[in-house]
Each structure stands twice: as C-alpha cells, then as structure tokens.
Amino acid sequence: LNLMYAHIGRQQSWQSSSKAIFRISPFSLSWKEAFQISDNWPGYSLDLFTYPQHYYGDLEYVLIPHGIIVDRTERLAKDIMQDIGDNDIVVLCVLKGGYKFCADLVEHIKNLSRNSERFISMKVDFVRLKSYHNDQSMQDMQIIGGDDLSKLTGKNVLIVEDIVGTGRTMKVLLNNIEKYKPKMIKVASLLVKRTSRPDGYRPDYYGFEIPDLFVVGYALDYNEHFRDLNHICVINDHGKAKYRV
C-alpha cells in the first residue's frame, strides 16, 4: 500500500521509494526493531488526502498518514501492556504536542485491557514543557505546570511524548521526575528524530524513527499552528515564513 501511494503520488520516486519505509539500518538488528523512515523517503503527495484548507500551500508532503499513526499506536499499546500491564500506571502526558498520541494510546490500552484477563488501572496526568521557538530548539527549556509531581512517588510512570529530537528535553524531564522516586519510569514517544549524534536518547517505546526534518500535525506544532492537522507532514518554506514569530 505504501509503495502504491508513493507511486501514484510521485511517479519519479518509484525507484527510490521501493526500499524506503522498511529499510533495514546497518545499526539495527532487524526490521522489527524500529519503524524507520529513511532519509530518501519521498512521502505521500498531499493530493491523496484531505487536510484543512487553511494549510493549503504551507506543506511540502505527508510524511506519515493519520491511519498509519493510529495503527502503529495500537501496536505500541500492545507492547506496553505486555511489558507493564500487571502494574497500575500513571500516564504522564507531555503537553501540548503529546495530547493526540496520548489520547489514542490510552484508548488502545483501555481496549486491550477490556478484552483481556489483565486489568490495568490508569491515571492520566499532564506536564507542560516548552523548548521550541520557530523551528529551532531553545537553549533553556521551560517547565510550565507539573508542580504536583510529588504524586508520582512510588508509582509506575509512563511518560508520553510526541517527539524526541536531541533528547535534551527528555533528560531534563527525567531528572525532574526521578527526584520524586517513582517505582518505575518508562518513556513512550511517537517519533524519534534521527539526529547527527548516534548516542542520542532512545525512548523505551517509539512509533517511528524519522529523518532530521521539522514536522507538524497530529498535535505537533509550528508556533502553535498545525495542531489541527491529522497527518504528520513536512512544512514548506512558505508555511515557515507565514507562521514565523
């Protein structure tokens, strides 16, 4: 299906896309290890999908369609249930970008739990961080909210993030949470960016490894815009200029 879409959308990319999505990296053990989207993956033509009219002309292409995000999230929910489904967990959603992924992940975990012998008790909490200005990571990360982290003491915590870039944000957050001595901390991130540093932070669970691109949609924003876009897309120069602050 992926190949078909790519073929329909961009004739010229048939050759390069044939190995694109499930490409095996020399650094990974097998294709099962990670859903890697390679650097030469051309994406899907925007004409194949619907998206809000106010973003016409602002996007380059669709990197991950909404349906694939949801399907992959269902599998992550299964993996998480298998690993920690015997524990009561506190899901800590990192706002604002993590809200869509978190909502879908929690929904899938609830469904899996309902249809199995294992009943997982979940509490959902929120923390807010801010580290991006335009598309550049800021030097100082602000932690807004999350003043009630003492509730996490002795708990099994699942941090849910939209994207791990440099990993700096996650390290700051982990350091903060560890002070409150939770019983366990796991991190689930929908996306991991392939940055230049091979020693970059890896979450316990992640949906897709993506090229070092600035992406928007499915709650990921560019200066608070594009959160209402369903698909994960690459923004173009026009879009960047239009919403620059």
Binding site for Mg ion (CB under 5 A): 97, 162
Question: Within the chain, where are the H helices?
Answer: 2-9, 14-17, 66-84, 99-114, 168-178, 237-242
Buried b (16+ CB within 10 A) or exposed e, 186-217: bbbbbbbbbeeeeeebebebbbbbbbebbbbb
127 is a site residue for ligand HPA (CB under 6 A)? no
220 is a site residue for ligand HPA (CB under 6 A)? yes
**How far, CA to CA in Å, does 40 sit from each of 9, 135, 199?**
15, 21, 22
Piece of 47-55, 77-85, 179-187, 210-218 that binds ligand HPA (CB under 6 A)? 210-218
Helices 99-114 and 66-84, axial angle in degrees (round to 10): 50
Give the residue from 237, 239, 236, 234 showing the smallest Cα distance to 44: 234
233 is a site residue for ligand HPA (CB under 6 A)? no
> From the list 180, 214, 223, 240, which residue makes contact with ligand HPA (rule: CB under 6 A)?
214
State the minimum distance, in angstroms, from the CB of residue 154 to ligand HPA: 31
State the minimum distance, in angstroms, from the CB of residue 132 to ligand HPA: 5
> From the list 6, 21, 90, 215, which residue makes contact with ligand HPA (rule: CB under 6 A)?
215
Query: Six-digit token pair at 53?
Result: 């009219």
- For residue 210, the partner it binds in ligand HPA, Mg ion, none, with Cβ less than 5 to 8 A by kind, is none
The residue of the chain with the least Cβ separation from Mg ion equals 97
State the minimum distance, in angstroms, from the CB of residue 22 to Mg ion: 26
Note the residues at the interface with ligand HPA (CB under 6 A).
Answer: 97, 132, 163, 165, 214-216, 220-221
